[in-house]
Structure 1
Amino acid sequence: MRSATSAGEDRCIMATYVDILKSEFPQIDQEVFNYIKGVLDCGGADFEDDEEVFEAIGGVLQQVSADCKNEEDVRDICLQMFNTLTLQNGHGSQKQLLLDAPVQLSQISAESVTTTKDVQGIWMLKRSQNTTVDAKKLEKAEAKLKAKHERRNDKDGQKTTTPIVLEEASASQASNKKDTRIDLSGRNRCYDIRIENFDVSFGERSLLQGAEVMLAAGRRYGLIGRNGLGKTTLLKMLASRSLRVPVHISILHVEQEVAGDETLALQSVLESDTLREGLLLEEKQLNARIAAGTTDGAESVRLSEIYVQLEEMEADKAPAKASVILAGLGFSAKMQTQTTKEFSGGWRMRLALARALFAKPDLLLLDEPTNMLDVRAILWLENYLQTWQSTILVVSHDRDFLNAVVTDIIHLHTQRLDSYRGDYENFVKTKEDRLKNQQREYEAQLQYREHIQVFIDRFRFNANRAAQVQSKLKLLEKLPELKPLEKETEVTLRFPDSFEKLSPPILQLDEVEFYYSPDRRLFTGLNVSADLESRICIVGENGAGKSTMLKLLMGELTPINGVRQAHRSLKMGYFSQHHVDQLDLNVCSIELLLNKFPGRNEEEYRHQLGGYGITGELATRPVASLSGGQKSRVAFAQMTMPCPNFYILDEPTNHLDMETIEALAKALGKFKGGVVLVSHDERLIRLVCKELWVCEKGAVRRIDGGFDEYRDILQEQFRKEGYL
């Protein structure tokens, strides 16, 4: 009796792999067939054995076959195809082309999808009703094939020295041909945005599944959710139009800082209005031609049209409007005339925000805009956005900012998006009510099921009640699946206490004078002190010297004049606003602690990280792959491991979600030691601080009325300066 392998070889002599594919899978989708053919055409000469063929296309073939063929059958088919390829390549009957990377079906444009007659593109919707293949399977097959090429390159001596490669985000959604045709025809004039049945993933990790979002024109949405769930990724998918947004809707995502060059700050903002800039340039060119006498009447007509357009958009008032925006965000008159290259990264981010506010896109996407701002600028931005006419989608951890700005909340959780009308406080109340109703409904359903089950158990063996029991069993089977209420885990942070009592003075600065250059004195006659009971918050405009004062308190900077005094047993923990950026991104969190504090076992490092929400697989992932909030938690774990008795925190809430900020406030409240922090987060200030210090004009003064008094002072300044 001949072996299966011999039979397969004979069959391969008579048939090509294309024939085998069509014969074994007669119902295969054309797109899938083209994909598999492309893989085998391009990589056929490169397959070493049938196992590699199975790795490349086996998963896709199993999807195609559904329940008709098991894995063993598919492996046999892959063997036949491999033998066919071997014979073809050996005889040179088929020219093999090698590509640098596998064919990426996901990159095929939406336009090409719409031209495919009656076929939903498999790369557009993984749950397509017209295809049996999951797009994720195709992507995995492509990835396996690419990995195989890379392994072979390594064997051939092509060494790779590239740093860690992060996963990339991707999005897919159902393709609505009607909406696409209307969109491309230019007849769509609606400024509402509705995206249905879409998925977003980050590498192999699914962030959203079958999600839906509706953004009504002119409303201001706050996107909230725990760290690492995909809020920033969703904004990027919208900004890149990986999720379909009507082409006539302009989008501006404030993500990257303005490039540093010779452009003046004010001019940089003005240039963001491309329509105005284009009209001014055309006006200048036409006037030059008219002055040279090289024109006909058409130029004069066009020039008149340009003047009308410029007048309608009030182009002459643009510099004043841009200046008001810049001033509101903290740029003095002198700073507005400086070149962009003279500013630090934080100020260039403010410039990017100013450009977006001036350009007024149809959809403005903001990701943690308050991170780059001081309290004064945040308050101005709140007032400015309250009169914003177009649509806003903002990710923010600042609940007071959300309460002041947004009209709706979108809550990202458990791979879906839930919408709520109203500000953040209304969201909290409505969410609690929903959870209570869902819990009551769950309990009622559970009680109903138990009641039916009691009847079934009681009369199961009663012949007279057999019909009723069968009826109850069928009723029980038809009831929807009962799912317990999903509750988000509570975030907890813990700052370990140091129980050693220290007698005052603990930490103080006496008559301190400090400057980086003699012509710009930051502090003169500075007198401040703190003890183990202190809960002090420092506020003030960016550049006023808040971070410098923290470094003076820590002893990192030496006063020009005056004295710093610190208790000999004072043990300080410091969280810098740039602390996250200074972490080693190429190692996992466990390795990071191991390198910083060697000599302990892995369980101790895991326990330390677990106290800040970095548990399980998160602790073994490269720090670079973590979200901003997760990196902050790693930084907290690193800072608290030596058990300091005094903490100095510089903007600790940047990138943290609201639940973690609440947990941070509780942890600081319970901590038996001193705390001095610089923060712009109103919620944290109100929850933690007993003293408010304002840093301005070379001095530090205490405000007895706390944050409310400081807010009133700023509002009055805005009114006097005409920024409101």
Structure 2
Amino acid sequence: ETSKLEKAEARLKAKQEKRSEKETLKTSNPLVLEEASASQAGSRKESRLESSGKNKSYDVRIENFDVSFGDRVLLAGADVNLAWGRRYGLVGRNGLGKTTLLKMLATRSLRVPAHISLLHVEQEVAGDDTPALQSVLESDTVREDLLRHKRELSLRIAAEGSEAAQLAEIYGKLEEIEADKAPARASVILAGLGFTPKMQQQPTREFSGGWRMRLALARALFARPDLLLLDEPTNMLDVMAILWLENYLQTWPSTILVVSHDRNFLNAIATDIIHLHSQRLDGYRGDFETFIKSKQERLLNQQREYEAQQQYHQHIQVFINRFRYNANRASQVQSKLKILEKLPELKPVDKESEMVLKFPDGFEKFSPPILQLDEVDFYYDPKHSIFSRLSVSADLESRICVVGENGAGKSTMLKLLMGDLSPVRGIRHAHRNLKIGYFSQHHVEQLDLNVSAVELLARKFPGLPEEEYRHQLGRYGISGELAMRPVASLSGGQKSRVAFAQMTMPCPKFYILDEPTNHLDMETIETLGQALNNFRGGVILVSHDERFIRLVCKELWVCENGSVTWVEGGSPIFSEEALLKKKTHTQI
């Protein structure tokens, strides 16, 4: 009896060791940087269906798959089910693998049935002499092939007088796909994304990176793939284009998987939410707000279940310990050990760590004026004035949001305030000791990718102990081995945090932030808002994140018609309805 008991205990111990070994493997994070990779368990039935061409379903089901980045496991034994015609929002903390998952689907490293067409809006359109409208039309390869074939046949018929039947067939196919309506449809999409009729005829090389990204989005919308993969589509858009995109996607006929940290956008378009955490994917029906409520309930139930099991486990263990050496009770003890062995593996609720951000305060007190433009005129070309007699002023209590249409001069005004551009007439005045911290998307793009975040700060601000750089990065959630990893291996949101750490290192008393929330996850956006509210210094920001603006800003500067209008905060202008009413002349 004693040997049976020992065997049963040994089995239980081995099972527990195996479990903890798996956990250690999952969380080990070596610094070797490789490419992302994916693997999945395939079912023979699905493979047979695929190879026989009988799989006609447009649902995407990928079960029991792993995704890694180098030796870091991002997903383990995960499942994803994308039902045809539904719109999925993929959410989760920065750096957990959302973008990598999209890439694995886009490159078909994870098996998506071959008959399902997919498009991933990731790279901006290459700049060449192709007009914007033509670039969009060319993304429909079926139509382009038919038109090319039609042209070739027409030339051959003119020369030889044959192949008329084939030409008639091509005309039939062109009619079937409504090819004649394509230019109008492409034009509607481009207009919705902010392209004026004149811009639609411009060569793609004349557009900036942001506009080329919009072009890439327009091409994907026009091509209408069966599965559309979007990564942070609202980052490159102003409010009017976002509202247009929301409306457009609500009638999208096929399937969408979108990574977004924009709550309003997800509430408008998502029919389902997929939450990436703890190396797995959990699906929820409904929009983002519904997901938040359901997640809280699920976590509460999970915690209760775990606690109940722990109590039960303890209760049985007490019995085992009490009667372990009692020969009369040996069989009972053995059966209790079997019960323990068969208990399902439940885990305590995996609470996501609280995000902390802190902007260091300078201690100097400055007397006004702090930062102002007085009767400033500015132009790049004398025929096209950008500002005329512009006067604005900000102090150390300022919380200003700058709004205005693309091309209204928002970035130009920020550069005039920072002193990067000089007025043609008028005066820029800044307090002589004022240090300004500037953040924009190109700061993130210009980080050196080959070194670690610690090395990056050490090069920029030499001579401090390594501990100092680590502490600074830790303020922005880049701690432990994250700080020692090459910047190239960090996610978009993590790179933004490194850029924040770099910007705040000299302790500026004033921040000018151009779209600071791009790529940040929702928790970090909220935390950034709180950090700016706690900061004892001035803030001017450009953002299209309505929730963030409402959290931080006390006044608006509206850029239009070569001047800036001041609007006090706390007014209805911060509501979406008011933005819609103002849409004729203001876009955030």
| TM-score, normalised relative to structure 1 | 0.73
Following TM superposition, by how much is the alpha carbon of 1:477 offset from its aligned partner in structure 2, in angstroms?
Answer: 4.1
Contact 1:375 1:539 in 2 (8 A): no
Whether 1:359 aligns to 2:359 is: no
Matches within 5 A, 1:160-559: 167-292=34-159, 294-296=160-162, 299-456=163-320, 468-469=332-333, 471-559=335-423
- Deviations, residues 208-231 of structure 1 (Å, cap 9, x unaligned): 111110000111111111111111
SS in 2 for 1:488: coil
- Deviations, residues 30-67 of structure 1 (Å, cap 9, x unaligned): xxxxxxxxxxxxxxxxxxxxxxxxxxxxxxxxxxxxxx
Q: Which residue of 1 aligns with 2:433?
A: 569
- Deviations, residues 168-214 of structure 1 (Å, cap 9, x unaligned): 11111123233223223322211000011111111111111111100
CA–CA separation in structure 2 for the residues paired with 1:343 and 1:613: 35
Q: Which amino acid aligns with 2:55?
A: N
CA–CA separation in structure 2 for the residues paired with 1:556 and 1:575: 14
CA–CA separation in structure 2 for the residues paired with 1:461 and 1:271: 80
Following TM superposition, by how much is the alpha carbon of 1:288 offset from its aligned partner in structure 2, in angstroms?
Answer: 3.0
Q: Which residue of 1 aligns with 2:17?
A: none
Q: Which residue of 2 aligns with 1:119?
A: none
Q: Which amino acid aligns with 1:174?
A: A
CA–CA separation in structure 2 for the residues paired with 1:469 and 1:167: 50
Which of 449, 455, 462 is equivalent to 1:598? 462
Which of 586, 592, 612 is equivalent to 2:476? 612
| 1:706–1:571 CA distance, 2 compared to 1 (3 A) | farther
CA–CA separation in structure 2 for the residues paired with 1:244 and 1:532: 55
| 1:465–1:519 CA distance, 2 compared to 1 (3 A) | same
| 1:678–1:706 CA distance, 2 compared to 1 (3 A) | farther
SS in 2 for 1:579: helix
CA–CA separation in structure 2 for the residues paired with 1:265 and 1:622: 37
CA–CA separation in structure 1 for the residues paired with 2:546 and 2:41: 41
| 1:287–1:716 CA distance, 2 compared to 1 (3 A) | farther
Whether 1:661 aligns to 2:525 is: yes
Tell me, which stretches of 5 or more residues in structure 1 are unaligned? 1-135, 137-163
| 1:711–1:260 CA distance, 2 compared to 1 (3 A) | farther
Q: Which amino acid aligns with 1:316?
A: D
| 1:481–1:258 CA distance, 2 compared to 1 (3 A) | closer
Q: Which residue of 2 aligns with 1:645?
A: 509
Q: Which residue of 2 aligns with 1:4?
A: none
Contact 1:195 1:244 in 2 (8 A): yes
| 1:539–1:184 CA distance, 2 compared to 1 (3 A) | farther
Contact 2:573 2:579 in 1 (8 A): no
CA–CA separation in structure 1 for the residues paired with 2:576 and 2:68: 43
- Deviations, residues 645-686 of structure 1 (Å, cap 9, x unaligned): 111111111221112111111111111111111112222112
SS in 1 for 2:37: strand
CA–CA separation in structure 1 for the residues paired with 2:103 and 2:577: 34
Contact 2:546 2:574 in 1 (8 A): no
Contact 2:275 2:281 in 1 (8 A): yes
- Deviations, residues 53-82 of structure 1 (Å, cap 9, x unaligned): xxxxxxxxxxxxxxxxxxxxxxxxxxxxxx
CA–CA separation in structure 1 for the residues paired with 2:507 and 2:116: 53
SS in 2 for 1:578: helix
Q: Which residue of 1 aligns with 2:553?
A: 689
| 1:233–1:558 CA distance, 2 compared to 1 (3 A) | same
| 1:409–1:333 CA distance, 2 compared to 1 (3 A) | same
Contact 1:184 1:247 in 2 (8 A): no
CA–CA separation in structure 2 for the residues paired with 1:197 and 1:531: 56
Deviates more, 1:400-409 or 1:702-711: 702-711
Following TM superposition, by how much is the alpha carbon of 1:476 offset from its aligned partner in structure 2, in angstroms?
Answer: 3.5
Q: Specify which structure has the bigger relative contact order, considering alpha-carbon pairs within 8 angstroms and separated by 6 or more residues.
A: 2
Give 1 or 2 for the bigger CA radius of gyration.
1
CA–CA separation in structure 1 for the residues paired with 2:234 and 2:343: 48
CA–CA separation in structure 1 for the residues paired with 2:511 and 2:276: 33
SS in 2 for 1:435: helix
CA–CA separation in structure 2 for the residues paired with 1:483 and 1:263: 56
Q: Which residue of 1 aligns with 2:19?
A: none
Contact 1:376 1:541 in 2 (8 A): no
Contact 1:593 1:638 in 2 (8 A): yes
Following TM superposition, by how much is the alpha carbon of 1:712 offset from its aligned partner in structure 2, in angstroms?
Answer: 4.0
Deviates more, 1:707-716 or 1:559-568: 707-716
Aligned length: 554
- Deviations, residues 514-552 of structure 1 (Å, cap 9, x unaligned): 111122222112222211111111122333221111111
CA–CA separation in structure 2 for the residues paired with 1:477 and 1:194: 32
Query: Percent identity among equivalent residues?
Result: 75
Q: Which amino acid aligns with 1:664?
A: L
Q: Which residue of 1 aligns with 2:444?
A: 580
CA–CA separation in structure 2 for the residues paired with 1:313 and 1:209: 42
| 1:524–1:706 CA distance, 2 compared to 1 (3 A) | farther
Q: Which amino acid aligns with 2:552?
A: V
| 1:478–1:259 CA distance, 2 compared to 1 (3 A) | closer
Q: Which amino acid aligns with 1:357?
A: L
Following TM superposition, by how much is the alpha carbon of 1:456 offset from its aligned partner in structure 2, in angstroms?
Answer: 4.6
Contact 2:240 2:583 in 1 (8 A): no
Following TM superposition, by how much is the alpha carbon of 1:610 offset from its aligned partner in structure 2, in angstroms?
Answer: 0.9
| 1:539–1:400 CA distance, 2 compared to 1 (3 A) | same
Contact 1:608 1:641 in 2 (8 A): yes
CA–CA separation in structure 1 for the residues paired with 2:313 and 2:38: 40
CA–CA separation in structure 2 for the residues paired with 1:516 and 1:454: 82
Following TM superposition, by how much is the alpha carbon of 1:166 offset from its aligned partner in structure 2, in angstroms?
Answer: 5.4
Deviates more, 1:534-543 or 1:360-369: 534-543
Q: Which residue of 2 aligns with 1:44?
A: none
Q: Which residue of 1 aligns with 2:13?
A: none
Following TM superposition, by how much is the alpha carbon of 1:457 offset from its aligned partner in structure 2, in angstroms?
Answer: 5.0
CA–CA separation in structure 2 for the residues paired with 1:192 and 1:586: 40
Contact 2:572 2:578 in 1 (8 A): no
| 1:365–1:372 CA distance, 2 compared to 1 (3 A) | same
Tell me, which stretches of 5 or more residues in structure 2 are unaligned? 1-24, 26-30
Contact 1:651 1:677 in 2 (8 A): yes
CA–CA separation in structure 1 for the residues paired with 2:576 and 2:267: 19
CA–CA separation in structure 2 for the residues paired with 1:332 and 1:706: 29
SS in 2 for 1:182: helix
Aligned Cα root-mean-square deviation (Å): 2.3
